[in-house]
């Protein structure tokens, strides 16, 4: 298997994405998990550009990394300075990184109009910056040719001179950058193909996604001879982002036989993508190829009955190869096959045609009113059990009162509630930062004596959607609440009401009912695929 080096720049180029700012601790966590995954290089930051990056390069030395080399990133020296007097080049040396990535201009117009130096001066800046770093550190240097493809289209002779200069000065890899992200795969293929006349150079590709082609351009660059792929996890990065490594890696490794990661690493791709979404403090992209929660979700009845016969009819790879999972969605569009495919192993009585018709009718009726079970699997299972005649009388709502309290400078909400649990009335009071927080805490508190593990149940997402905006503030709202129990897959429940507190109360009570149900069935301990 041909080795492709994976060079991750989530911490540097990725952090240039809007709304993303990693703390030093978060950068170190990402470094650790990407090292466990087995990526070859992690670009940690730009030494000297901010105090966080300086601290990162100090602290990362204390991490016992087993697979990954840490790279520091910077530009060639400023014009009119000597390398040893250049602040950023000196910071590069001081970072004591395992290797270095220097970028320089390769587009003649950028040299003349943006950098404002002559074409020859730019070549000199590239040459003596690389030679200086090489002499001072003795470590590998990669050279990023910024705007390479635009440069090549403008003046191919000059763009090639830039490459030759970097190579002769001692750069181990020459990285071809589609900095503006506007190139087409065909152009990448032709240009990388033309470069083969330059012998003994090891190439890399660094693409951006402005034309939604970063992954396609990266794959074509690899097929044309590039041995290093630069990109970010989940494709985060400036403007429309960088090449998404979570797509490039499985495409190359599973479909084209290249070796990017150790195979046990590939099985963790879904989990690591989710963890990185969490650390970027952004919502994950559910339809993200390969690693999205819905990348293997099936809704249409025809699709579901077909994948029951052969999953490859509607799945391009086996989801478990990258740690993802097939998911059957149930909605008003669903047919019998969706319900059966999802629940028949647990509830064989669903084979009965009258029962299944009753279930489908009820789902359609509820969805007409505005309830949706598509993102609320747990809520759906409770409904199904009700129709099948199970008596899950764990929790019955009785009374709820929420008060907003202003106590001096302190403002909080207080929930007082009562409910029936296994026939007996229970009461609880709890404070929270807001009404839903107070309600959720009061419910759990009252269950702790019976189910101590309820303290480990975490509320992980809370979504509200207005069903019919024309009714203004009297409109019905649908609340979907996601919970997660100790490293298992999250589950969701749904509530709907004109009153947001009532809708949340319904969804929270259902979540606890589901938790108790699975606790009793000990299923929560079995489903540890997440």
State the nearest-atom distance from the C-beta of 68 to Zn ion, in Å: 19
Residues 296-335 that bind Zn ion (CB under 5 A): none
Q: Which long-range contacts (CB under 8 A, 24 or more apart) does 379-382 make?
A: 379/492, 379/493, 379/494, 379/507, 379/510, 379/514, 380/330, 381/343, 381/514, 382/493, 382/510, 382/513, 382/514, 382/517
Select 241 or 495, whichever has its Cβ closest to Zn ion.
Answer: 241
* CB nearer to Zn ion: pick between 245 and 457: 245
CB of 210 to Zn ion, least distance (A): 11
**Comparison of 228 and 440: residue with beta carbon closer to Zn ion:** 228
A 10 A CB-CB count for 523 gives: 12
Q: What torsion, rounded to 10 degrees, do the Cα atoms 83, 84, 87, 89 define?
A: 60
236 or 350: whose CB is closer to Zn ion? 236
CB of 206: closest distance to Zn ion in angstroms?
6
The runs of H, that is alpha helices, within 74-118 are: 87-95, 108-109
Q: Which is nearer to Zn ion, 13 or 108 (CB)?
A: 13
Query: Rule CB under 5 A: which of 143-172 touch Zn ion?
Result: none
CB nearer to Zn ion: pick between 179 and 492: 179
Of 9 and 95, nearer to Zn ion (C-beta) is 9
Question: Residue 474 CB, nearest distance to Zn ion (Å)?
Answer: 49
Distance CA 105, CA 151 (A): 9
Residue placing its CB nearer to Zn ion in the complex, 76 or 338: 76
Give me the least distance between CB of 268 and Zn ion, in Å please. 25
**Distance between CA 193 and CA 212 in Å, rounded?**
22
The minimum distance between CB 60 and Zn ion, in angstroms, equals 21
Instruction: Please check whether residue 170 is in contact with residue 140, taking contact to mean a CB–CB distance below 8 angstroms.
Output: no
Please report how close the Cβ of residue 148 comes to Zn ion at its closest, in angstroms.
11
Extended strands (E) in 307-358: 327-328
In which residue are the tokens 């749904």 written?
Answer: 494
For 21, the 3-state DSSP assignment is coil
190 Cβ contact partners less than 8 Å away, ≥ 6 residues apart: none
The SS3 call for residue 331 is coil
**Are 123 and 162 spatial neighbours (Cβ–Cβ below 8 Å)?**
yes
Query: Which residues, 330 to 369, sit near Zn ion by CB under 5 A?
Result: none
What is the DSSP code (8-state) at residue 3?
Answer: B
Q: Minimum distance between the CB of residue 209 and Zn ion, rounded to whole angstroms?
A: 10
Q: Smallest distance from the beta carbon of 10 to Zn ion, in angstroms?
A: 12
Least distance (Å) from Zn ion to the CB of residue 264?
30
Q: What is the spatial distance between Cα 262 and Cα 230, in angstroms, rounded to a whole number?
A: 18
| 512: Cα within 13 Å, side-chain hemisphere | 27
Q: Which residue is nearest to Zn ion (CB)?
A: 13
Binding to Zn ion by CB under 5 A, coded x per residue (else -) over 1-40, reads ------------x---------------------------
Q: Return the axis-axis angle of helices 87-95 and 51-59, rounded to nearest 10°.
A: 30
Nearer to Zn ion, 177 or 219 (CB): 177
Q: How many residues bind Zn ion (CB under 5 A)?
A: 1
Please report how close the Cβ of residue 219 comes to Zn ion at its closest, in angstroms. 17
Nearer to Zn ion, 147 or 298 (CB): 147
For every residue of 126-173, DSSP letters joined together read: HHHHHHHHHHHH-S-EEEEEETHHHHHHH-HHHHHHHHHHHHHHT-SE
Closer to Zn ion by Cβ: residue 230 or 274: 230
3 state SS of 473 = helix
CA of 365: how far to CAs of 20, 369, 467, 468, 505, in Å? 42, 7, 15, 17, 22
Binding site for Zn ion (CB under 5 A): 13
């Amino acid at each position: 298997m041909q080795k492709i080096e994976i060079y991750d720049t989530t911490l540097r180029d990725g952090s240039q994405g809007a709304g993303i700012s990693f703390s030093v601790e978060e950068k170190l966590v990402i470094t650790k998990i990407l090292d466990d995954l087995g990526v070859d290089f992690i670009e940690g930051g730009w030494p000297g550009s901010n105090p966080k990056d300086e601290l990162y390069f100090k602290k990362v030395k204390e991490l016992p990394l087993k697979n990954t080399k840490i790279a520091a990133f910077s530009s060639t020296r400023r014009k009119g300075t000597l390398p040893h007097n250049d602040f950023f080049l000196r910071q590069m040396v001081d970072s004591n990184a395992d290797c270095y990535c220097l970028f320089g201009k390769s587009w003649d117009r950028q040299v003349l109009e943006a950098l404002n130096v002559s074409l020859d001066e730019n070549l000199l800046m590239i040459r003596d910056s690389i030679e200086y770093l090489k002499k001072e550190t003795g470590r590998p240097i990669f050279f990023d040719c910024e705007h390479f493809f635009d440069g090549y289209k403008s003046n191919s002779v000059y763009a090639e001179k830039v490459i030759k200069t970097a190579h002769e000065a001692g750069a181990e890899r020459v990285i071809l950058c589609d900095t503006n992200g506007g190139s087409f795969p065909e152009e990448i293929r032709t240009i990388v193909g033309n470069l083969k006349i330059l012998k003994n150079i090891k190439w890399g590709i660094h693409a951006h996604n402005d034309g939604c082609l970063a992954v396609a351009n990266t794959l074509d660059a690899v097929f044309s001879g590039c041995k290093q792929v630069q990109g970010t996890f989940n494709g985060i990065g400036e403007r429309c982002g960088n090449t998404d490594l979570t797509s490039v890696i499985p495409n190359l490794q599973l479909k084209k036989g290249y070796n990017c990661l150790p195979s046990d690493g590939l099985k963790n791709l879904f989990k690591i993508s989710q963890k990185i979404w969490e650390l970027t403090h952004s919502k994950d992209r559910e339809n993200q190829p390969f690693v999205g929660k819905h990348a293997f979700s099936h809704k249409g009845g025809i699709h579901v009955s077909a994948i029951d016969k052969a999953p490859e009819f509607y799945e391009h790879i086996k989801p478990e190869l990258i740690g993802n999972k097939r998911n059957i969605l149930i909605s008003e569009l669903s047919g019998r096959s969706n319900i059966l495919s999802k629940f028949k192993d647990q509830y064989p009585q669903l084979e009965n045609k009258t029962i299944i018709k009753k279930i489908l009718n009820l789902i359609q009726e509820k969805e007409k009113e505005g309830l949706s079970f598509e993102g609320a699997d747990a809520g759906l299972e409770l409904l199904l059990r009700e129709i099948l005649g199970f008596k899950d009388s764990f929790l019955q709502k009785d009374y709820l009162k929420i008060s907003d309290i202003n106590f001096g400078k302190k403002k909080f909400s207080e929930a007082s509630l009562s409910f029936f649990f296994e026939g007996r009335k229970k009461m609880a009071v709890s404070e929270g930062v807001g009404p839903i927080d107070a309600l959720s805490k009061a419910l759990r508190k009252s269950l702790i004596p019976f189910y101590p593990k309820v303290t480990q149940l975490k509320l992980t997402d809370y979504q509200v959607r207005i069903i019919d905006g024309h009714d203004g503030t009297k409109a019905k709202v649908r609340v979907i609440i996601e919970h997660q129990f100790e490293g298992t897959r999250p589950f969701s429940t749904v509530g709907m009401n004109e009153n947001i507190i009532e809708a949340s109360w319904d969804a929270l009570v259902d979540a606890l009912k589901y938790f108790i149900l699975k606790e009793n069935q000990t299923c929560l301990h079995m489903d540890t695929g997440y």
